[in-house]
Amino acid sequence: MTRFLSAAGLAAALLLAPLPAAAEHAEGLHVHDAYVRTMGRIGASGAVFMVIHNNADIDDRLIAAASDAAAKVELHTHIAEPGGVMRMVEVPEGFAIEAGGFRALERGGDHIMLLGLTR
Neighbours of 88 (CB within 10 A): 15
Predicted TM-score (pTM) of this structure = 0.76
Residues in contact with 74: Cβ distance below 8 Å, sequence separation at least 6, in sequence order: 90, 112, 113, 115
- In tens, the pLDDT along 36-63 reads 999 878 889 999 999 999 999 999 999 9
Average pLDDT over residues 59-88: 94
Q: Please tell me the distance from the alpha carbon of residue 118 to that of residue 104, in angstroms, as a whole number.
A: 26
Number of alpha carbons in the 13 Å side-chain half-sphere of residue 114: 25
Average pLDDT over residues 88-92: 95
